[in-house]
A and B are shown apart, each in its own frame.
Chain A
């Protein structure tokens, strides 16, 4: 190919990528298009293959099978330094022997750019740290190092900016602040950002599009709202927020709706929100979509009766209830504390109800625990 990959621009396309290490398949037949200018997140637990995917895009690993294109240019085997792609590394990987100014200037100097000083100053202003230019990385706080790592990458105006758990080392408050700032900077510079994280809140706050990865494959891809509102698998339903998954059977049709039997009680849900392949299905309802009412109070929508309050946790803006259903399952309900109604007490006999359109349907053969277990390794990282 005569075209120099370093000038390539356009959408990033991964085509049937597989990466194996001996018997272990880190990434399994992955196909993915990341549109130019988007803020894209690869979300998944540790070991799901998201970091390996990122490293293949950066050129630090080569796929065992498959190809990577940037626009029309095949960059599958292009060396990292020949790709118009820059990375914000997990622990920043700033050069400890260089000043902040020289750290940021590193990429510009390698490419023989003329107005280094001007460009470095500009990007230092963007990350609001112009006064630190002459310091060494070790003299900076974690949050400052994070911004310098970002500045060092975006100053090159790459076709693609990769962020590898960029906020993982920061404390919660700083992380929230940086999430908003990163989003703002991405809009400001108009680059394509690809963000790898195991933190669902971080992905949902920043990304336009999230690909949820599990065991080397993409489980589901879509906007944060799509994924949360209509998850297609139990893994996505549990990994993004919490879900109540109740086993049922499809009992018939009612126009655009399905009639579903949940332990003898009939509910309805939109046909197009069901991902079941046969009659068996799990009805999924997010905890905040449930409403609790006392027995005998008339309610709209789907209703399941015969529950009693098992546990009450008051947490200010909302109250979390655990409701034991007659078939032995405990469901989680979040009620906003906005209507002044006295909270229910432990032991109260109640009905739970919800809007039929909020229901999502999963295949009846799903493992409903998928995506719920907390990885001890990740707890340590926190």
Chain B
């Protein structure tokens, strides 16, 4: 072997970087480029040229701010609901399930074995007029909660796989049940909560499948707008500008969130 030792780590990173470059960096650059294009004068539908029209962003945002707002509101609601359902579930699995712990974890993961689309269609069955739930509820349940719920549970359970003796220690040190939960269990499960809520929030904010299958025009999310701009109206620059705006908005929100609920102090 003639490779100096120092090169080995970089060689090992190479396939990963190559993948990221090809399937993430290149498309992003392409997207950025598209977002500032304008239609070619007298050209065919779908023919655009680069004019650095940053006005596209303002126009796209102003036209669709309602859908943007809805996306973030639905994503936030989904995250809050998911956390409210998943935290007690995760708590029970982590501390009270004894030998059934692994089986319960598998059950939590099980929905992932079916395809995302299939699950959403299944929800339509459940929530639809022919389903178990009154049709009026349909609009309220626009986000497939079960999707988000599962990822939150897993993350929270993962976050709770620490020494249960610490909770006994809190009791030993004069903390009653509620105080021990507030002072020890919750702070120690924060990494799981942060990971779980992010896993819920990010896909939910960009979601359009649920809205398309389960929703109505009144529940259109930004993902639906992007989809129709791309595939129906063939307005690539606006779709690209919307995608970019969504991405940056999520990045900013997530950064603020991690700053606030940050977990670096646990490491």
**B188 on interface, CB distance cutoff 8 Å:** yes
Q: Interface digits, B172-193 against A, CB 8 Å rule (1 contact, 0 not)?
A: 1111100110011001101000
Contacts of A97 in B (CB 8 A): 184, 187-188, 190, 265-266
Contact of B172 among A86, A111, A138 (CB under 8 A): A86
Q: Are A93 and B175 in contact (CB under 8 A)?
A: no
Closest-CB distance, B165 to chain A (whole angstroms): 4
The residue among B163, B165, B169, B172 with the most chain A CB atoms within 10 A of its own CB is B172
Closest-CB distance, B245 to chain A (whole angstroms): 36
Q: Are B266 and A110 in contact (CB under 8 A)?
A: no
Contact of B169 among A85, A87, A136, A138 (CB under 8 A): A87
- A111 and B172 CA atoms in complex are apart in Å by 12
Contact of A91 among B163, B173, B187, B188 (CB under 8 A): B163
- A97 and B173 CA atoms in complex are apart in Å by 16
Known: A96-B266, A110-B179. A81 touches B171 (CB 8 A): yes
**A358 on interface, CB distance cutoff 8 Å:** no
Sort chain A's interface into a size bin: 20 to 34
Sort chain B's interface into a size bin: 20 to 34
Contacts of A187 in B (CB 8 A): none
Contacts of A107 in B (CB 8 A): 173-174
Known: A97-B265, A136-B265. A91 touches B165 (CB 8 A): yes
Contact of A106 among B162, B173, B266 (CB under 8 A): B173
Known: A97-B187, A97-B265, A136-B265. A110 touches B169 (CB 8 A): no
- A146 and B172 CA atoms in complex are apart in Å by 17
Closest-CB distance, A106 to chain B (whole angstroms): 5
Q: Are B172 and A80 in contact (CB under 8 A)?
A: yes
With both beta carbons as reference points, the residue of chain B lying nearest to A86 in the complex is identified as B172
Known: A81-B176, A110-B175. A95 touches B266 (CB 8 A): no
Contacts of A91 in B (CB 8 A): 163, 165
Known: A79-B176, A81-B176. A95 touches B184 (CB 8 A): yes
Nearest 10 pairs of A and B residues by beta carbon: A107-B173, A93-B165, A110-B174, A93-B169, A80-B171, A97-B187, A81-B174, A93-B166, A87-B172, A106-B173
Interface residues of A (CB under 8 A from B): 6, 58-60, 79-81, 85-87, 89-91, 93-97, 106-107, 110-111, 136, 138, 152-153, 156
